[in-house]
Chain A
Amino acid sequence: MSVLIFAELDEGKLKKSSQEAIFYGAKVAGMLGTSATAIVLGAADDSELALAGRFGAAKVLHATDTKLNEPNGMAYATVVAAAAQQEGTKVIVLAKSSLADAMTARLAGKLKAGLAANVIELPDLSTGFRVKSSIYTGKAFAYNDLKADIKILAIKKNTIVTEETEASATIENFTPTLNDADFVVNVKSTEKATGDILLPEADLVVSAGRGLKGPENWGIVEDLANALHAATACSKPVSDLDWRPHHEHVGQTGIKVSPNLYIAAGISGAIQHLAGVNSSKVIVVINKDPDAPFFKSADYGIVGDVFDVLPRLTKAAQAL
């Protein structure tokens, strides 16, 4: 009956968003009077499996088939569905990510599950099973009643503040039958920025727009991001102009982020941009135009020139 949590790895490490998912899943399990089981797919160190226990999983299923070392939404869905069946799971929890999106849908199809994406709070069990989710790209919320026997919750980043304990989980090997049909897509090559903080995972984000004038000026953005241990992001025109890679662009047609801190430098604050960042906890806007619309959605604002302000913020942050 346990609550099953898909715990995603990035380069062998348990993703921060998955730590949140485990903690969230354990809370839901507590509400339902059951325990939480995390499932990890592909090679992972014992310390990473143990970490799942410290965030609240009572048990960790580890599927180690080498075919699972490459992330594969279809195969992962097959494995998680098998685990759900073994465990008699009624509630599956995952953290939103590009891999999780691909999996969630296949899982919902397999299990005929009631699915809520972009969940932002713990469920309300007083009237059934009700979850709050973010819709219209962060412009509104919906209260969804999940009526299906099996429920899948894909949670947004920063849905829950985690706590790590000394608890430990039992670790079990899980060896489901894999399905050849899940391996028909050939991965020819992968290009991935390494060492950087992944934007969707980041707690702090420094973002810049057309106000930076050109890609050659991004050094001042990166310097501030480094000083704060933040990820960098940009507005859509910036990626359209190829000043920055596409996977850095946030907004309605880009990545949706919900970090603790979003600093926007030289971005006007168009509604399509806000759509991707409006659920950030704290928003800082730096713009030389006092009438820039972004100031209306900010918590802190500085009217000033980014070429003056950013380097000074970097110095101040380095001095912390």
Chain B
Amino acid sequence: MKILVCVTSVPDTTTKIAFTDNNTKLNKAGVTFITGPYDDYALARAVELKEKLGASVTVLNVGGADAEPVIRKCLAIGADDAIRVNAEPTDAYFVAEQIAAIAKETNYDLILMGRESIDYNGGQVHGIVGEMLGMPSISPVMLLDINGDTASITREIEGGKESLEAKLPLVLGCQEPIAEWKIPNMRGIMTARTKPLRIVEPVSTQTLTAVGSYELPAPRGAVKMIKAEDAEMLIQLLRTEAKVI
């Protein structure tokens, strides 16, 4: 079985976002980049499936050279090899086109992604890739088991979940509790250094969207504190002042 795991390199979840260059670029100063938390779930499940069923796991990132630490970490966690498409990811369609181009070279049985990236939070790339490759796309996947050429899947829906069955190949967007996040061990870190990382130039595409500028949310006004003994006053304020109930 061949598994492709698509990963993003994103600001750590505790990052305070700031922009530079007249609000046209993320200020990367002091920002730690991590594997997208949902991508980490996808990778962890891929590595578990490899251990259980035997599979090759390839990691794919569309990004600049600064994404390489994240890619190496994925190799240390247990991926066999990696591909980096050397381009700044501009939008979901662009990224999907790159992923689809790579996926057309090799017949992957599973293309695992995170349910959404935590930078743009579109949750779109898996669906576009599925469409481009003519494969079903399913997200967000909470449980995944493979039996021969069939996947058993539990997917979250609004207010509940649903059990699905589908034949491979599939494109899946993953989330917890599909697997426990894995932390690389020393041996993994050593072997990761020599695992193959192939750098590929992007396929050219037409620009469908472009970000003109970024903005930070206006700070919330000062908090109005209510004494615990006057708690009931809150309900009055929500009605007469905030007008939300």
Contacts and interface: CB of A to CB of B under 8 A. Distances in A.
Interface of A: 10, 73-74, 77, 97-99, 101-106, 108-110, 112-118, 130, 132, 134-148, 181, 184-193, 196, 198-201, 203-204, 228, 245-247, 252-253, 256, 260-261, 271-272, 275, 278-279, 281-285, 295-305, 308-309, 312-313, 315-317, 320
Interface residues of B, number: 80
A148 B157 contact: no
Contact of A298 (B125, B209, B220): B220
Chain A contact residues, majority secondary structure: mixed
A135 B213 CA distance: 12
15 contacts: A105-B123, A117-B120, A139-B216, A142-B213, A142-B214, A147-B207, A186-B166, A193-B160, A246-B156, A253-B38, A282-B238, A301-B224, A301-B225, A301-B226, A313-B234
B223 A300 contact: yes
B28 interface: no
Contacts of B225: 295, 300-303
B160 A316 contact: no
B128 interface: yes
A301 B224 CA distance: 6
A117 B128 CA distance: 14
Given A117-B123, A142-B214, A303-B228, A106 B223 contact: no
B156 A247 contact: yes
B245 A272 contact: no
For the complex of A and B, list the 8 residue pairs with the smallest distance between their C-beta atoms, beginning with the closest: A105-B127, A109-B131, A304-B228, A192-B160, A316-B232, A148-B208, A114-B208, A316-B235
Nearest to B100: A109
Given A188-B164, A299-B220, 7 more contacts: A73-B127, A108-B92, A114-B209, A138-B217, A228-B245, A279-B217, A285-B223
A77 B137 CA distance: 12
Contacts of B160: 190-193, 245, 247
B69 interface: no
Contacts of A309: 228, 231
B127 A271 contact: no
Interface string B190-233: 00000000000000001111111111110011011111100110
Contact of B245 (A99, A204, A245): A204
Nearest to B92: A115
Contacts of A247: 156-161
Interface of B: 11, 13-14, 16-17, 19, 37-38, 91-93, 96, 118-132, 134, 136-140, 142, 156-167, 175-177, 206-217, 220-221, 223-228, 231-232, 234-239, 242, 244-245
Nearest to B237: A300
Contact of A74 (B16, B38, B137, B210): B137
Contacts of A260: 244
A105 B221 contact: no
Contact of A317 (B92, B224, B235, B242): B235
A113 B127 CA distance: 13
A136 B17 contact: yes
A192 B157 CA distance: 8
Nearest to B23: A143
B166 to A, nearest CB: 4
A95 to B, nearest CB: 12
Contact of A115 (B93, B212, B214): B93
A245 B92 CA distance: 30
B162 to A, nearest CB: 4
Contacts of A282: 238, 242, 244
B235 A313 contact: yes
A6 to B, nearest CB: 14
Contact of A193 (B19, B37, B96, B159): B159
B159 A109 contact: no
Contacts of A140: 17, 19, 214-217
A105 B127 CA distance: 5
Q: Which of B123, B213, B236 has the most CB of A within 10 A?
A: B123
A205 to B, nearest CB: 11
Contacts of A278: 217
A317 B228 CA distance: 16
Contact of A300 (B156, B158, B159, B224): B224
B122 A115 contact: yes
A44 to B, nearest CB: 18
A320 B215 contact: no
B162 A313 contact: no
A181 B38 CA distance: 27
B135 to A, nearest CB: 9
Contacts of A139: 16-17, 216-217
A77 B211 CA distance: 26
